[in-house]
Amino acid sequence: MNSLYTLGIRQTSSIQTDLNKLRAGDSSTSLQGQISASLAALSRTVDDYDSMAKREMIAAKQEKAFSRVHKFRQDHAELRTQFDTLKKEAANARARENRNELFGSTTSIPLSPGMGPSIMTARQRSFAAGPSQPPEWMEESPFSLRPAVQSSASMRESHALREQSFIESTENQLDQFLMQGKEVLDNLVDQKNLLKGTKKRLLDAANTLGLSRDVISWVERRTTQDIVIFFVGAIVTLVCFYYIWVWFG
C-alpha cells in the first residue's frame, strides 16, 4: 500500500507540473495526450489503492487508507477540471489566432488584374460616345466588388473552421490512442508481475519436490539399514542362546 501511495503522489505532482506547462502556453498535442494518459493512470492507481484498503485487516490503517483515497479522488477531479478548462482556453486561443489571420489576409486581398483594363475600356467607350451620354464607368460602383471579397472571406473562414474541427478530432483520437497504449502497457506490466510470481512459486515447488525426494530416499536407505541390523541382531541372539544352552544345559 505504501508503494501505491507513493506512486499516486508522484503521479499527482507530475500532472500538476504538466498543467503548469499548459497554463504557461505550451498547448502542444503531445503534452495534452501525456496529461490525459497520466490522469487515466492516476485513476487506476487510486482504484488499486482503494481495493487494497478494503482488504486491510487493521481498522486504523484501513481508515487512514480510506482518507487517502478520498484525498486522491478529490485531487484527480480537480486536476481533470483544470485540464478541461485549460484545454478549452487553448482551443479558443487557437481559434482566435486563426480568425485574426484570416481577417488579416482578407483585408490585404489585391484587386484582380483584369479589372483595370475593363474600367479603362468603359471609360474610353464613354469618351468615344460623346459628352451627351453618361460614362459607363461612373455607373459601375467600386463597391460591386465587395460581394466577391465577402464570399471569398466566408469560404476561407469555413475552410479554417473545418480545419480546426479536423485538428480537434485528430487530437481527441490521439488522446484515445495514448490512453489505450497506456492501458496496454499497464496490462503488460501486470502480466509480467503475475508471471514472475508464478515462476517463483514453481521454483519453490520444484525445490520442495527435490527436498521431498531426498527425504524419501534417505528414509528408504534407513529402512534397509534397520532391516539388516534387525536380522543380524536376531542371528547373533540365536547363536548366543544356542551356546548358552549347550554350555549350561
pLDDT one-digit tens code per residue, 48-100 = 888 888 887 788 888 888 888 888 888 888 888 888 888 888 888 877 877 77
206 pLDDT higher than 80? no
23 pLDDT higher than 70? yes
Of 95, 76, 70, 94, the closest CA to residue 19 belongs to 76
Supply the mean pLDDT for the chain.
75
Span 101-105, average pLDDT: 67
pLDDT > 90 fraction of the chain, expressed in percent and rounded: 1
Tally Cβ neighbours within 10 Å of residue 180: 12
Identify the pLDDT of residue 211.
63
Interatomic CA distance for residues 213 and 126, integer angstroms: 121
DSSP code at position 57: -
Hey, where are the domains in the chain?
1-106+149-180, 210-249
157 pLDDT higher than 80? no
38: exposed, middle or buried (Cβ count in 10 Å: 0-12, 13-18, 19+)? buried
Buried b or exposed e, range 49-85, using 16+ CB within 10 angstroms = bbeebeeeeeeeebeebeebbeebeebbeebbebbee
Identify the pLDDT of residue 18.
85
Identify the pLDDT of residue 161.
79
User: Which has more pLDDT, 23 or 116?
Assistant: 23
Q: Give the pLDDT band of residue 107 (cuts 50, 70, 90).
A: low
Identify the pLDDT of residue 249.
60
